[in-house]
A and B are shown apart, each in its own frame.
Chain A
């Protein structure tokens, strides 16, 4: 079965610094990978996805993610963090008709 792992429960970063939220995957075949963000008391919002093509995927709110097949990773990145980026981030992988989520990483951006 397909799965994703998010090794960090929380990531802390100062505003203006680059941020990385890590995700590794385990799939058979070519993966469909996604990143979602959840703000307090809200549902998840789609940020970006990798299906095929360029390994660097650009998404909403200035986020991007790098697909690395050799390291089976799909890390979320942003060059300059904002306090408003503070939220819960989920990596996900598609498994036929199901979307399987990681356990989430809480991003805290300090002023």
Chain B
């Protein structure tokens, strides 16, 4: 099993550009989520989904959009990148409404200049 796959691994954007961070999982997990990791701030939840067709906001959703058209995929869209969005982004998945741990991808390092 591949687990949780994130692409790309690295990305540099200019302010105002848009892009989509891809996340796919092959474990048939209903729950998927996006976090950003910044020094001294730990991981902060951006958006999450408890199943296909359902999404909700986390702690820091502004500037990001998500959709969940399939169980496997949960892309994160930056509509107009800002330097404050420079961060490492992690996608994670698990079974919904359970005590199962999150499975994380290896992250996407995004720099906005």
Contact = CB atoms under 8 A, between A and B. Distances in A.
Given A103-B40, A103-B41, A103-B42, A49 B99 contact: yes
A94 B99 CA distance: 9
Contacts, number: 57
Interface in B44-67: 44-45, 48, 50, 56, 58-59
B104 A99 contact: no
A101 B101 contact: no
A46 interface: yes
Nearest to A47: B101
Interface size class of A (residues with CB under 8 A): 20 to 34
A91 to B, nearest CB: 9
Interface string A79-111: 000000000001000100111111110000000
Interface string B89-113: 0101000110101111111000000
B74 interface: no
Contact of A34 (B35, B97, B101): B101
B42 A101 contact: yes
Residues of B contacting A: mostly: strand
B2 to A, nearest CB: 13
Contact of B102 (A44, A51, A104): A44
Q: List 3 tightest A-B contacts by C-beta distance, closest first.
A: A43-B104, A46-B101, A103-B42
18 contacts: A34-B101, A36-B101, A43-B4, A43-B92, A43-B105, A43-B107, A44-B104, A90-B43, A94-B99, A97-B31, A98-B48, A98-B58, A99-B92, A100-B59, A101-B35, A101-B43, A103-B41, A103-B42
Interface of B: 4, 31, 33, 35, 40-45, 48, 50, 56, 58-59, 90, 92, 96-97, 99, 101-107
